[in-house]
Structure 1
Amino acid sequence: MPPKAKNFVSDIKPWKTEWRVHVKAVHSWKQQSKFGGESLEMILADETGAKIHASCKHGFLAKVQRDLPINEWRVIDTFNVSPARGHYRTTAHAYRIAITKDTSIASSDVKIETPFLSLASFTSINNGDLDPDFLIDVFGQVVDIGDMLTVQVSGEERQKCEFYLRDTR
């Protein structure tokens, strides 16, 4: 049987699960929700710089953290694809990846060292030119940082810290 073809992140659509992508995890965080429990959320980038949101449920968390470390290239095979929805989307990709029990993660021969950031300018932020439903990448110098505050978010206590960034350009 011939090897599976390599796909780019921009090609991924929900009409099949047999995708094979070479990606680098550029960011990850754990998330807790009332409905899904704990999950691992990630931003994956391919060699063209295209990014997609990926997640895995609690049952696969340890395996994915071990097999898909930040800044390491991997081949990911066989995953679910669904529409990306909601406020504060992490990428502009129309879909997101769900890593399942059938997903395999292996080493990749791709070795690109770019961080794949899409930095927004302070001007575009201040002018309101950016879509507020998407998170943005920004670099700046912290010039003032407030106290750590405890706030209520959806009935739960969370820690909050406000700070000001200065454009370093």
Structure 2
Amino acid sequence: MSANKRFHLISDLKPFKDAWRVQGAKDHCSCKRTLIKRVQRNLPLGKWRVIQNTKISGTSGKYKPTKLGYKMNITDDTVFTDSDLTDDSSFLSLASYEEILNGSADTKCLIDIIGQAIDIGEVQIIQVHNEDRKRILFRIRDNMYRS
């Protein structure tokens, strides 16, 4: 297989190169608003795709959606093709309520949880850095324990 046809694991991506060919794993990915319709059309839910020619950049902000230090950026040159790889794994990394409550959950990464909303408050407008932001307070219950 030629070097330009080789696949890379998402966790191995680095921002010094523009043309990556990747498949598999959970990653943070973004695109410009003008490309959203194209991405929706080319990345149907449940389909495995090969994504070629993406830009890789470092993640920023206080919280990251994955533990990876980089995110993928869809560009005008990005190409989507069918993949021979299929994997029924959900790629969810759910945090347990116990990890959250005892403080062992990773505080630098956004975490996924599943629970039942038992109390949802009204939308509130709050000031964050002199800007209006909307906030909703809610309580969820861990259904595994049926409390």
1:150–1:160 Cα contact (<8 Å) kept: yes
CA distance in structure 2 between the aligned counterparts of 1:123 and 1:114, rounded to whole angstroms? 23
Superposition CA RMSD, Å:
2.1
Alignment match, 2:68: 93
The answer as to 2:40 corresponding to 1:65 is yes
CA distance in structure 2 between the aligned counterparts of 1:54 and 1:79, rounded to whole angstroms? 10
> Under a length normalisation based on structure 2, what TM-score does the superposition of the two structures give?
0.84
CA distance in structure 1 between the aligned counterparts of 2:60 and 2:125, rounded to whole angstroms? 28
CA distance in structure 1 between the aligned counterparts of 2:88 and 2:20, rounded to whole angstroms? 24
Select which of 60, 77, 81 maps to 1:102.
77
Which segments of 5 or more consecutive residues in structure 1 lack a partner in the other structure?
23-45
Q: Per residue, is there more helix in 1 or in 2?
A: 2
Alignment match, 1:14: 15
CA distance in structure 1 between the aligned counterparts of 2:102 and 2:58, rounded to whole angstroms? 29
Alignment match, 2:105: 130
CA distance in structure 1 between the aligned counterparts of 2:99 and 2:32, rounded to whole angstroms? 35
Residue-pair matches, total: 143
> Under a length normalisation based on structure 1, what TM-score does the superposition of the two structures give?
0.74
Listed as ranges, the matches of 1:1-169 within 5 Å are 2=2, 4-22=5-23, 46=24, 50-153=25-128, 157-169=132-144
Indicate the larger mover: 8-17 or 73-82: 8-17
Q: Per residue, is there more strand in 1 or in 2?
A: 1
- Rg larger in structure: 2
